[in-house]
């Protein structure tokens, strides 16, 4: 393992990060009616990837999180890799005690000698605080070294209901679909892929229903993370829109598989995020379809193991609410909304051509509204208190870019420039920029485009300078979002 760079890293205020040690993928997200539960890949023994177990945190607002003790600890022969949680309300598994619906965790039991990956089950009768591993594990074993990341949900239809699992054969770039009546006995129903981007292995699938904005229509969406081969390099997440009949996912558009790493080809695909640091995002069980919400790991396997740390390493993205927008050609795109933030209006002021200083100094949501006839360029340059530059966001009518320097990260793949082409049918352009200690998340085109990057080791910018060259006025606003301001708005 390479020597690990340690320095004082400011803990985020708007995102979950562990008290100590390593984290990666979010696992087992569910809402119990009062609290959101976030489980996550966690090393209880250090800041590097290893001894994988499920950490646990809870929140009432998706912003402020309370970390709880380890929920599922690695064993002597297998680590606890990624998976999901469902609440077995009807006790189909028979693992309930007659009074409490069991909370079922389905996870990948990854042999420590790397000889096998199979799907295993653990159950909780105390609200998800502690879990008991099922005595007859594994419940699904293909004899494969790369069969992992089970995401389970309840499928309802006029013909009845059943449990459905999507998992991956990672090397084969295939999503496997299974059905079960009891969460224990599983039957393979179909598979999907390879299609579209396949330069990297496929991981962490999710199959969800999303509402189509402005209609009563629902569509199925299959999320597939891959590494490497993402649109910004390294880790990324693509998605497919289609139909699901309980057995087979059928995309609206069949796509040829390709292993290109060229941006020109990758940018033709459907990407959940265009930044470097948004991976393995999965949805919450227990929320209605119009509240479908995801959280992703805010990092990239290109450099995740080597980032500076302060006794902890890794954080999650902001939660995002998802729906679909139908396009003029009949296709669909995912639209994202930041979840859990105050509904207070963002105080705004007009900006004319030239440079405008924007005071920040703490986590904040910045909104920039550009007029419909905007033809120039807007550049937001984010500064430290000593006036040095952290990163830069540039906005043009057809493109948003984010450039970050090496900063405090001694890794050759960290300094980078990300490109996010905007939809051709964009009119008035509103850009949201969520700034926290250590990260930036940019949403544009009414949430149809998202770009997430770490700013590792950096405090939230002290101020920004907006350089605007449009011919008509823009509007800029800042909503402070520090823990103190959030408490005042509650």
Spatial separation of the C-alpha atoms in residues 59 and 66, rounded to whole Å? 6
Spatial separation of the C-alpha atoms in residues 486 and 477, rounded to whole Å? 17
Spatial separation of the C-alpha atoms in residues 379 and 300, rounded to whole Å? 26
Q: In a 10 Å sphere around its CB, with 0-12 CB exposed, 13-18 middle and 19+ buried, how is residue 377 labelled? A: middle
Spatial separation of the C-alpha atoms in residues 318 and 322, rounded to whole Å? 13
Spatial separation of the C-alpha atoms in residues 342 and 223, rounded to whole Å? 28
324-327: list long-range contacts, CB under 8 Å, 24+ apart. 324/210, 324/211, 324/212, 324/213, 324/219, 324/221, 324/241, 325/212, 325/213, 325/446, 325/448, 326/212, 326/213, 326/214, 326/215, 326/217, 327/423, 327/425
In Å, how far are 44, 237, 434 from 234, measured between CA atoms?
A: 26, 10, 23
In Å, how far are 15, 94, 447 from 97, measured between CA atoms?
A: 36, 8, 44
Q: Which residues are catalytic?
A: 25, 203
- On the question of a cis peptide bond just before residue 26, with omega within 30 degrees of 0, the verdict is no
Residues 6+ away with beta carbon under 8 Å from 262: none
**CB distance 280 to 82 below 8 Å:** yes
Q: For residues 84-98, b (16+ Cβ closer than 10 Å) or e, as one string?
A: bbbbbeeebbebbee
Residue among 72, 54, 74, 20 at smallest CA distance from 315: 20
Spatial separation of the C-alpha atoms in residues 465 and 367, rounded to whole Å? 14
State CA 117 to chain mean position distance. Answer: 23
State CA 433 to chain mean position distance. Answer: 17
């Amino acid at each position: 393992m390479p020597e690990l760079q340690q320095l004082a890293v400011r803990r985020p205020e708007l995102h979950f990060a562990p008290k100590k040690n390593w984290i990666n993928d979010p696992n087992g997200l569910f809402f119990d009616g009062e609290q959101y539960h976030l489980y996550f890949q966690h090393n209880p023994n250090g800041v590097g990837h290893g001894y994988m177990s499920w950490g646990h945190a809870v929140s009432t607002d998706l912003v402020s999180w309370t970390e709880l003790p380890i929920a599922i600890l690695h064993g002597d022969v297998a680590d606890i890799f990624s998976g999901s949680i469902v609440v077995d309300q009807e006790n189909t598994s028979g693992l309930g005690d007659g009074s409490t619906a069991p909370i079922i965790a389905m996870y990948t039991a990854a042999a420590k000698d790397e000889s096998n990956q199979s799907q295993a089950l653990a159950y909780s009768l105390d609200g998800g605080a502690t879990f008991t591993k099922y005595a007859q594990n594994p419940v699904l074993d293909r004899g494969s070294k790369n069969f992992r990341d089970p995401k389970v949900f309840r499928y309802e239809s006029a013909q009845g209901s059943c449990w459905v699992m999507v998992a991956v054969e990672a090397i084969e770039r295939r999503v496997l679909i299974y059905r079960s009546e009891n969460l224990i006995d599983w039957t393979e129903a179909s598979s999907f892929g390879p299609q579209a981007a396949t330069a990297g292995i496929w991981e962490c699938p999710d199959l969800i229903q999303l509402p189509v904005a402005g209609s009563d229509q629902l569509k199925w969406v299959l999320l597939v993370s891959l590494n490497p081969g993402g649109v910004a390099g390294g880790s990324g997440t693509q998605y497919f829109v289609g139909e699901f009949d309980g057995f087979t996912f059928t995309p609206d558009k069949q796509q040829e598989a390709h292993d290109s790493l060229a941006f020109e080809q990758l940018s033709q695909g459907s990407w959940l995020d265009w930044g470097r640091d948004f991976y393995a995002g999965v949805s919450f069980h227990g929320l209605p379809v119009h509240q479908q919400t995801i959280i992703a790991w805010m990092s990239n396997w290109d450099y995740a193991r080597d980032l500076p740390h302060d006794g902890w390493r890794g954080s999650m993205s902001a939660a995002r609410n998802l729906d679909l927008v139908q396009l003029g050609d009949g296709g669909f795109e995912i639209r994202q909304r930041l979840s859990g933030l105050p509904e207070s209006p963002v105080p705004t002021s007009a900006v004319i051509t030239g440079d405008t200083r924007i005071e920040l100094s703490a986590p904040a949501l910045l909104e920039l509204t550009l007029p419909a006839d905007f033809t120039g360029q807007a550049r937001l340059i984010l500064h430290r208190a000593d006036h040095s530059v952290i990163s830069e966001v540039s906005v043009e009518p057809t493109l948003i870019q984010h450039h970050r320097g090496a900063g405090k990260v001694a890794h050759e793949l960290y300094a980078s420039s990300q490109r996010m082409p905007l939809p051709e049918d964009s009119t008035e352009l509103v850009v949201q920029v969520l700034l926290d200690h250590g990260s930036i998340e940019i949403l544009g085109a009414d949430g149809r485009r998202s770009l997430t990057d770490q700013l590792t080791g950096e405090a939230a910018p002290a101020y920004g300078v907006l350089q605007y060259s449009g011919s008509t006025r823009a509007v800029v606003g800042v909503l402070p979002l520090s823990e103190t301001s959030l408490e005042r708005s509650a």
